[in-house]
Copies of this chain bind each other. A is one copy, B any other.
Amino acid sequence: MATSTPSAGKRAGKQLHLFGFVIHSPMNHTVGSWRHPRNNSLGYSFAEPEMWQEVARTLERGKFDGIFFADQLAAYSTYRGSRDAALRHAVQFPIQDPLLLIPMMAASTRHIGLLSTLSVSYYAPYMAVRKLSTLDHLTKGRIGWNIVTSFHQGEALNMGLEKMTPHDERYARADEFLEVCHKLWNSWEKDAVVMDRAGDVFVDPTKVHEIEHRGKYFSCPGFSPVTPSPQGHPVLIQAGASGPGRDFCAKWAEGAFTIQLTGRALASYAEDIRERARRAGRAKVPKVIAGIQIIVGENERAAREKQEELNELVSVEGSLALLSGHTGYDFSKRDLDTLVEDIQDLPGIQGLFEVFTKMHHEKVSLRTAAALYGRSVAQPQIVGDPEQVADQLIRLAEESSVDGFNITPTYTPGSFAEVVDLVVPVLQQRGAFRKEYAGTTLREHFEQTE
């Protein structure tokens, strides 16, 4: 993460945007983290609201922009063609609906943004708009939507679909989905709700407009069942990685979320998204947010020990279940002692394997590569004392020109409290992070520049 890029320095004096990156599951992004002695220290199940409400209060105390829920709907079953390893190691499974957890977190906070993944594959646009606009009202404008198209065959089958939409068509379909959503969000004029008690008029019907959408994938004649919400629509986040995915992100998103192991890769991604957004004629380019993991200790040695302790929890089997699930390739077919540099027939994963090899300064076996993947799903681990972590974050943001970080926890909720209590004050002293929220909505936080 040492390489300067053409964008370096652009962020000077600018504020970072920080999010907590979680999953409504016993495990977040570190395989085996549920086993950590300090995980779930409040003694409540991940399935109950208490731990999540504590996470929300903690990150709000730290003035975070928001809490960002990844999501999936079914257990990974690519590895050995079975879901056994995913179940045994709680690999992002069991997994509860984050949309329903968000109101419980909203009820115990006042400022922090709350972002959920919602797949355009499993909701009609009308239903998605109803849910997101309801949430935006209930939270008084704190909702963000991570738009995904879904890649997971097991989800589609359980939802009763015969097969997945092919990848490129998924984005054409998602494009029309977003078009319908925006039509619905704009179907009410801002002053349509008049609430004239004496005149007996709640809504002026002439200010609500049928969208009459009939497209290739969707049909929706009516208007939103929900009045215009505080933010108008949720803050739109997207994490497209492929070419069509990046174009989709550049066209619609306010925030582009990415996972890249190196500063160089981050810089290249950020530059590409901004360029695609400019080509798409966007007035504002999406802010780029990078996934990372922070392991902070009172001194560097303590932090390294924590890192070791954490990484030792990562089982190879759980990691292979995750890696196989994410890539769609069953790694049980390979000898775990194979050096990853000798695996030449999996172009989609080769770049990742090369980075692992470079980072380790030695030849890496498939067994080791899987465990590296299981540590944080290929998100950089930022390790050190509070100053070291803060400086690394600032440097990484400057070098890569990203606008902020989505911070995946180690143990929950304790590791978030450490970031808030130890790292945030240093970032604030360095002038790199807000001391107070300037506004009340997620969009206001996300656009806050000082």
Contacts and interface: CB of A to CB of B under 8 A. Distances in A.
A30 to B, nearest CB: 13
Given A134-B101, A205-B88, A154 B93 contact: no
A422 B104 CA distance: 31
A96 B130 contact: yes
Contacts of A219: 157, 160, 162
Interface in A148-199: 154, 157-160, 162, 195, 197
B101 A104 contact: no
Given A35-B200, A108-B107, A221-B157, A226 B89 contact: no
Interface stretch (A120-128, A290-298, A340-348, A360-368): A120-128
A420 interface: no
A83 B37 CA distance: 58
A96 to B, nearest CB: 4
Nearest to A104: B103
Interface string A34-48: 110100000001011
B96 A137 contact: yes
Contacts of A201: 88
Given A48-B137, A225-B75, A131 B84 contact: no
Contact of A208 (B87, B204, B318): B87
A417 interface: no
A220 to B, nearest CB: 5
Contact of A87 (B73, B104, B197, B202): B202
B100 A197 contact: no
A127 B138 contact: no
Nearest to A35: B197
A90 interface: yes
Q: Can you tell how many copies of this chain the complex includes?
A: 2
A94 interface: yes
Which of A37, A74, A108, A200 has the largest number of chain B CB atoms within 10 A? A200
Contact of A100 (B85, B88, B134, B222): B134
Contact of A202 (B89, B130, B154, B229): B89
Interface in A102-118: 102-104, 106-108
B126 A225 contact: no
B225 A93 contact: yes
B94 A226 contact: yes
Contacts of A386: none
Interface in A247-264: none
A99 interface: yes
A140 interface: yes
Nearest to A95: B225
B103 A159 contact: no
Contacts of A408: none
A197 B107 CA distance: 32
A96 B138 CA distance: 10
Contacts of A200: 32, 35, 88-89, 315, 318
Contact of A134 (B75, B96, B203, B220): B96
Given A74-B225, A83-B205, A160-B218, A134 B97 contact: yes
A311 interface: no
A21 to B, nearest CB: 20
Interface of A: 24, 26, 32, 34-35, 37, 45, 47-49, 53, 73-75, 82-85, 87-90, 93-97, 99-104, 106-108, 122, 124-127, 130-131, 133-135, 137-138, 140, 154, 157-160, 162, 195, 197, 200-205, 208, 218-223, 225-227, 229, 315, 318
28 contacts: A24-B134, A34-B195, A34-B197, A35-B197, A47-B229, A48-B137, A48-B140, A53-B107, A73-B126, A73-B127, A75-B222, A75-B223, A83-B208, A93-B225, A94-B225, A94-B226, A95-B225, A96-B138, A99-B100, A101-B134, A101-B138, A102-B103, A122-B124, A124-B158, A125-B160, A157-B220, A157-B221, A158-B220
Given A95-B225, A96-B225, A158-B220, 11 more contacts: A24-B134, A32-B200, A49-B107, A73-B130, A87-B205, A94-B227, A103-B103, A104-B138, A126-B158, A154-B222, A160-B219
